[in-house]
Amino acid sequence: MGADLNAASELVTSCKVSYFDSSEAGRLAILTLDNGADHRKPNTFGEQGLASLLAAVEEVGGQSDVKGLLLTGKPFVFAAGADLGGFEGMDEARAREAARRGHEAFGRLRDLPFPTLAAINGVCMGGGLELALHCDYRTLSASAAGVAFPEVFLSIVPAWGGTQLTPRVAGFANALIVIVGNPLNSNRVLRAARAAQLGLTDRLLPATDFFEESLATLEGLVTGRLPLPAREPSTDGLDEALATARRAADDRVHGATRAPYVAIDLIEFAARGGDLAEGLRREEQALAELLPARQAQAAVYSFGLTQQRVKRQPWKPATASRRIAKVGIVGAGLMGAQLGALFLQRFEVPLVLTDIDAGVLEQARRHIDGELDARVAKGRLRPGKADHLKSSVTTSTDVADHAGADFVLEAVAEDLGLKQRIFADLEASVDAGCVLATNTSGLSVTAMAAGLLHPERVVGLHFFNPVAVLPLVEVVRTKATSDEALATAFAVATTLRKSAVPCADTPGFVVNRLLTRFMGACGQAVNQGSGFTEVDDAIKELGLPMGPFELLGLVGPAVAAHVARTLHEAYPDRFALDNNFQMLGSSGVPGVYDWSNGRVPYSEVTERWQVSAAGGQRMTAAEIRDSAVEAVADEIAVMLDEGVVADARDIDTCLLLGAGWPFFLGGICKYLDQTGVSQTRFGRTLVSATDHAATRPEPGMPLGASGDPLLAARADEHLAGFGEE
């Protein structure tokens, strides 16, 4: 079963048939998948699309003089699978019927009495790849921009023959990689060369004459000049590969979604020589069970948030953004160096990087040069272009060198006074239109801009570490931030290929505020006597790839302790200042675990961590999970009341893109709604039928103001004493 992970198609994929009379092979049919739109709306299959395909194949099959068929797609796109728009609310009967219809249409192609060739000219995902596997032979353009089976990522399985044909065509080991391993590895998509290496295609061809060479290949198949490849699947090493795949699934989802395990079982059935018809029936049964389930429905919701809604950039001002011809970054440490490399590669304009430490600047330059060299080595950047970009970087210890910049981002340590001084120095150096941004993880942006002549130019842009990997940017608007500055922030995010979610200027913003509350509940479990690994394992059973104390090693204890203190000062009733976390932040250890010895806590941590003298009963795994989830649920309700974000969908987007929450949880709000926690605690769901981000508020209006009487009643209580510092 396919899934379009680029954009849900609004057009029915139609299949156009033409014929070519070959002097060598006779009459050949050319079937083109084309929904009439450009590459931004890929070919996808819904009910009508499958009917169109079946009709086209029936037409070709009814021509007695046709000797072969070439199947291809419109420019840049072969096919991207099923239209996700039809997945929402799917029940068991409809899911089973969807799988059956795909098997019927694709099976008719497989049963044609002459050679068939799939000329994969571009994007080929999910059901598109399954369709290609039903052909006798596959050619692939070297320029194809994405080959993948994303279904397991969405908590379903390829159910149009993918689990049964891939092991037969590419072998069980490669089937496990592309159907299970890659989706669980951040939904990895294959480049053409790698797809060919894994056996998904029989011939990799240059893009320049791809169609002509594919047609010539079909002629060779028809005449017998080119024999069909012999496919002799082996079961050597199968048991070990299956065991490895199941362990990997445990490590990633911890049993919280059935999809990867079901996919592995289906692949095993095919690899052991199971009957194809029975295998297809099992696919239908699997889809009937998985698609209506909570996990798949949450994944469809997550897809809509992260691939559609966020790209529309809710509440982006209609005002034009400032043109950026020169970028400045203040602070060349870990984040500054990463941000410098990203801005340089995406904007390709002069970059000025400043820091008070010349040694740090030199290290940052080496990082930036190394990033460019790595792209050259991978063939993604020309050497001459890399040299030009390197020459566009200026490093300096003088903030005044940012003169002439259109956009300057500070990424120094989380010290409000330091950030205020930097902004004051910058304002004296840049022109009045230059946008000043801060990468603070939770300090008041309003307070940073308070002493400026033009506070309206200041906006928050909170990136997440590692910058190159995590796609989220929290865009923080103060009451003073101008529409031009805000529009520029959104434009910057787009150029950097990041997903921007707007939020109000509140302590911790969205992700750090929720993770701190979450971490606080987990810390309390350790304070009551639970072990660090015990808590991590309990939390991972939600389906999270990491436990809270494992994650702490990536965030950094010092950063986490600083954010915790900031939130305690703002909300002491909900964010207790845990002395153990503060100890950890000042200890100098990189995290709880000494990974050189395995997942073993540092002795310094265990010796200094104070367990409650009151004792008390140690929490069970279920109690640990419930405590953490309920703490986050409580904080979400407060955040929505305060207007930190426009809608619960924004919170889910932030956790999906900034904290690595899996699609099958739907973020956190959707999970709370699906599991009944929201209704039990608040008497309502958090994700309402109305998306409150659809209406732009007036400047200075709380982002969550929605007219909901329950929200309005609670907002006054929580907004008291909150806001600008």
Positions marked active-site: 441, 462, 474, 512
* 3-class secondary structure, 465: coil
8 Å CB contact between 437 and 356? no
Return phi, psi of residue 637, to 5°. -60, -40
Q: Is 604 exposed, middle or buried (0-12, 13-18, 19+ CB in 10 A)?
A: middle
Strands 499-504 and 472-477: parallel
- Please choose, from the candidates 56, 61, 202, the residue with its C-alpha nearest in 3D space to the C-alpha of residue 119: 202
* 3-class secondary structure, 276: helix
* 3-class secondary structure, 624: helix
Q: Where are the extended beta strands (E) located within 137-279?
A: 137-141, 147-148, 203-205
8 Å CB contact between 475 and 658? no
Q: Is 82 exposed, middle or buried (0-12, 13-18, 19+ CB in 10 A)?
A: buried
Strands 66-73 and 458-463: unpaired
CA distance 681 to 677: 6
| Block residue for tokens 């028809």 | 222
- Spell out a b/e string for 275-306, using b for 16 or more CB atoms within 10 Å of the CB, else e: eeeebbebbbbbbbbbbbbbbbbbbbbbbbbb
Q: Which long-range contacts (CB under 8 A, 24 or more apart) does 236-241 make?
A: 237/173, 238/172, 238/268, 238/271, 238/272, 241/172, 241/173, 241/176
8 Å CB contact between 669 and 629? no
Ramachandran class of 331: left when φ > 0, alpha when ψ lies in -120 to 50, beta otherwise: left
CA distance 14 to 74: 11
Q: Is the peptide bond before 292 cis (omega within 30 degrees of 0)?
A: no
Ramachandran class of 500: left when φ > 0, alpha when ψ lies in -120 to 50, beta otherwise: beta
CA distance 22 to 362: 64
* 3-class secondary structure, 521: helix
Q: Which residues contact 63 (CB under 8 A, 6 or more apart)?
A: 27, 29
8 Å CB contact between 310 and 657? yes
8 Å CB contact between 67 and 33? no
* 3-class secondary structure, 314: coil
- Spell out a b/e string for 389-403, using b for 16 or more CB atoms within 10 Å of the CB, else e: beebbbbbeebebbb
Q: Which residues contact 620 (CB under 8 A, 6 or more apart)?
A: none
* 3-class secondary structure, 416: helix
Q: Which long-range contacts (CB under 8 A, 24 or more apart) does 553-557 make?
A: 553/590, 553/591, 553/592, 553/593, 553/595, 554/465, 554/591, 555/465, 555/515, 556/590, 556/591, 557/581, 557/584, 557/585, 557/587, 557/589, 557/590, 557/591, 557/592
